């Protein structure tokens, strides 16, 4: 008997063909799952994409949910009998490239030069930094943080990793430490990059006190969860000129409302949660490979990879 699967989102013809090649399946593709009828939802065993409690309640046979995202915070409410998997690992290199881009942008004061170009000015800015030899800390050393540090190490930076528990230190890190001792090293870092999952432990981790522990002129990069940084505290610190730059691909609240003071805080550089590049097609194929690979495992009666631990939140 065919396994019924719902695939959400907009997909290329090639991706649709790849899904349809899955054996013994009955697949419904939809960009608007909330518009599906009870008859269409009935019998669904596998669901791909974000899911609401209302939709889940209408699929009593649901046993596996696969996310397109690396984060799983919005789906932790799912009942334990439903296996939940994310696309962990598919985003690491793409987001790491974004992190390198904004790090170098801030170090070289490129936004200031671009603003000067608009005024047709011609002057030399001070405070330009070298990437080589800089001290870079990644708070979070999963697929994203690790990819960033590997690339930073290749360019000559001295790299430090922070994680919940310490395991064997990889060669591209100078030190691997836990959050409990992170504050001892923060004042020495030129760049502090956050790629944290959305957990109670990470929420508000970088408040005013910790932001001030960072050395004057350091750069903050956040690509994990916006609420890891206390927004009002960051605005205050940036207005006082304590940090050289804050490069945010995620923020709290999100989407950031028009006229929010974070938009105009000095030396805050905002991108609209695009570092992974999935929706722009930059990272699309890697995500689809992960999703299809997991569905194949489930169809074969095996455990999918990157299942989400509800107690940890990722």
Catalytic residue chosen out of the listed positions 98, 109, 163, 225: 225
157 and 52 both lie in a single domain: no
**R_g of the chain computed on alpha carbons:** 22
Q: How much is the pLDDT for 281?
A: 81
* In the predicted structure, residue 194 carries a pLDDT above the cut 80: yes
Q: In the β-sheet with 135-139, what is the strand arrangement from edge to edge?
A: 175-178, 158-163, 135-139, 191-194, 219-222, 245-248, 268-270
pLDDT > 90 in the chain, percent:
89
How many separate domains does the chain show? 2
* In the predicted structure, residue 280 carries a pLDDT above the cut 90: no
Mean pLDDT of 276-294: 89
Residue 70 — pLDDT band, cuts 50, 70, 90?
A: confident
* In the predicted structure, residue 209 carries a pLDDT above the cut 90: yes
Whether 84 and 67 have beta carbons less than 8 Å apart is answered as yes
Report strand pairing: 83-85 vs 64-66: parallel
Mean pLDDT of 13-31: 97
Q: How much is the pLDDT for 313?
A: 77
Does 241 map to a domain? yes
User: Closest Cα to residue 22, out of 293, 287, 286, 283?
Assistant: 293
Annotated active-site residue 310? The verdict is: no
- What six digits make up the tokens of 67? 């996310």
How far is it, in rounded angstroms, from Cα 314 to Cα 310?
A: 7
Annotated active-site residue 98? The verdict is: no
Which residues have C-beta within 8 Å of that of residue 13, sequence separation ≥ 6?
none
Catalytic residue chosen out of the listed positions 273, 279, 306, 310: 273
* In the predicted structure, residue 74 carries a pLDDT above the cut 90: no
Least confident of 159-168, 274-283, 301-310: 274-283
Annotated active-site residue 242? The verdict is: no
* In the predicted structure, residue 277 carries a pLDDT above the cut 90: no
Q: How much is the pLDDT for 167?
A: 84
**Residue where a domain terminates, one of 233, 250, 270:** 270
Does 79 map to a domain? yes
Mean pLDDT of 48-57: 96
Does 306 map to a domain? no
* In the predicted structure, residue 10 carries a pLDDT above the cut 90: yes
Does 186 map to a domain? yes
Query: How many CB atoms lie under 10 A from the CB of residue 190?
Result: 22
Q: Mutual orientation of helices 110-118 and 92-107 as an angle, nearest 10°?
A: 60
161 and 140 both lie in a single domain: yes
Q: How much is the pLDDT for 282?
A: 83
Does 276 map to a domain? no
Q: How much is the pLDDT for 123?
A: 95
CATH number at residue 77: 3.40.50.720
Mean pLDDT of 175-197: 96
Does 185 map to a domain? yes
Q: Give the domain range for residue 114.
A: 92-270
Does 309 map to a domain? no
Tens digits of residue pLDDT in 212-251: 999 999 999 999 999 999 999 999 999 999 999 999 999 9
179 and 229 both lie in a single domain: yes
* In the predicted structure, residue 89 carries a pLDDT above the cut 90: no
Catalytic residue chosen out of the listed positions 40, 97, 174, 254: 254
End-to-end CA distance of the chain: 33
Q: Mutual orientation of helices 143-154 and 92-107 as an angle, nearest 10°?
A: 50
* In the predicted structure, residue 73 carries a pLDDT above the cut 80: no
Q: How much is the pLDDT for 198?
A: 85
216 and 260 both lie in a single domain: yes
Q: How much is the pLDDT for 314?
A: 75
289 and 266 both lie in a single domain: no
- What six digits make up the tokens of 63? 């046993």
112 and 77 both lie in a single domain: no
For residue 30, report the phi and psi dihedrals to the nearest 5 degrees. -150, 140
Q: How much is the pLDDT for 279?
A: 73
In terms of residues, how long is the chain? 314
150 and 178 both lie in a single domain: yes
Cβ neighbourhood burial of 240 (10 Å; 0-12, 13-18, 19+): exposed
Q: Which pTM does this prediction carry? A: 0.90
Does 179 map to a domain? yes
Tens digits of residue pLDDT in 93-144: 999 999 999 999 999 999 999 999 999 999 999 999 999 999 999 999 999 9
* In the predicted structure, residue 71 carries a pLDDT above the cut 90: no
pLDDT > 70 in the chain, percent:
100
Tens digits of residue pLDDT in 54-68: 999 999 999 999 999
85 and 96 both lie in a single domain: no
């Amino acid at each position: 008997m065919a396994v019924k699967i719902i695939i959400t989102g907009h997909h290329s013809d090639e991706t649709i063909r790849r899904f349809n090649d899955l054996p013994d399946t009955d697949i419904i593709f939809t960009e608007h799952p909330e518009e599906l009828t009870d008859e269409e939802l009935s019998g669904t065993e596998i669901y791909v994409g974000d899911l609401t409690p209302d939709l889940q309640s209408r699929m009593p046979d649901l046993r596996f949910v696969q996310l397109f995202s690396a984060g799983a915070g919005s789906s932790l409410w799912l009942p334990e009998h439903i296996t939940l998997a994310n696309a962990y690992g598919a985003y690491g290199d793409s987001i790491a490239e974004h992190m390198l881009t904004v790090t170098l942008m801030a170090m070289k004061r490129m936004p200031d030069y671009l603003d000067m170009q608009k005024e047709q000015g011609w002057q030399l800015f001070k405070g330009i930094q070298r990437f080589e030899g800089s001290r870079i800390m990644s708070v979070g050393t999963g697929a994203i943080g690790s990819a960033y540090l590997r690339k930073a190490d290749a360019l000559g930076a001295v790299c430090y990793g922070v994680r919940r528990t310490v395991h064997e230190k990889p060669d591209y890190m100078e030190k691997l430490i836990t959050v409990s001792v992170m504050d001892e090293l923060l004042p020495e870092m030129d760049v502090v990059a956050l790629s944290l999952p959305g957990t109670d432990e990470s929420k508000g981790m970088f408040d005013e006190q910790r932001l001030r522990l960072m050395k004057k002129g350091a750069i903050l990069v956040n690509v994990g969860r916006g609420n890891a940084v206390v927004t009002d505290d960051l605005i205050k610190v940036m207005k006082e000129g304590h940090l050289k730059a804050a490069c945010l691909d995620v923020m709290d609240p999100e989407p950031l409302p028009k006229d929010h003071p974070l938009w105009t805080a000095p030396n805050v550089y905002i991108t609209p949660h695009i570092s992974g590049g999935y929706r722009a097609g930059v990272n699309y194929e890697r995500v689809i490979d992960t999703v299809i690979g997991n569905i194949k495992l489930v169809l074969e009666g095996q455990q999918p990879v990157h299942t989400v631990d509800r107690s940890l939140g990722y």
